[in-house]
Amino acid sequence: MKYTIEQIKEGEDELILRYKQLTREAEEIMAFMRLPEKTLIGYDDSGQTIIEKNDILYIETVDRKTFIYTAENVLRTEYTLSQLEEILSAVNFFRCSKSMILNIDKISRLKSLASNRIDAELKNKEHIIISRTYASEFRRRIKGE
């Protein structure tokens, strides 16, 4: 795919996507273009914290509560895992199990496990297991398919 980026001095900002065939890459770009910029807010004992999407390591649901994990904090959020999956779909996040979404950009190494599972080591040395249900899709996503 060819990319053209142009800075303009005046007028309205505009994004144009032209394609012959709707590929996965074009779909991801369209999803990003349609995605309203939503601010993620997390809660802890000290109050509310604005969460930058790039700071998220993973998101997990435990006992019907959703938590966002960063290198520094664990924050509760009012969003469900499904809502967060939709909000973050245009960014490099992946549903790796029934109860977890993983930031692919925070993975430092991968290891195949028995039963078609994957051990993803994060940059903070934490290990996340990608379940066999999601492993095939994860491998395709990593390969860029």
Residue 56 lies in a domain: yes
Average pLDDT over residues 112-141: 94
Residue 139 lies in a domain: yes
Residue 128 lies in a domain: yes
- Please give the model's pTM, rounded to 2 decimal places: 0.72
> Residue 15: what pLDDT?
83
Number of separate domains in the chain: 1
Residue 134 lies in a domain: yes
Residue 90 lies in a domain: yes
What six digits make up the tokens of 84? 């967060």
Whole-number average pLDDT of the chain: 89
Residue 115 lies in a domain: yes
Domain that holds residue 122: 24-143
Residue 135 lies in a domain: yes
List the Cα angle 116/80/40 in 5-degree steps: 105
Residues 6+ apart with CB under 8 A from 75: 42, 43, 44, 49, 51, 67, 68
What pLDDT band is residue 90 in, cutting at 50, 70 and 90? low
Residue 34 lies in a domain: yes
DSSP codes joined into one string, 66-112: EEEEESS-EEEESS-HHHHHHHTTTTTEEEEETTEEEEGGGEEEEEE
CATH number at residue 69: 2.40.50.1020
Q: What is the pLDDT of residues 12-51, one digit of tens each?
A: 888 888 889 988 888 777 766 765 566 788 999 989 998 9
Identify the residue with better confidence: 72 or 38.
72
Cβ 112 vs Cβ 93: under 8 Å:
no
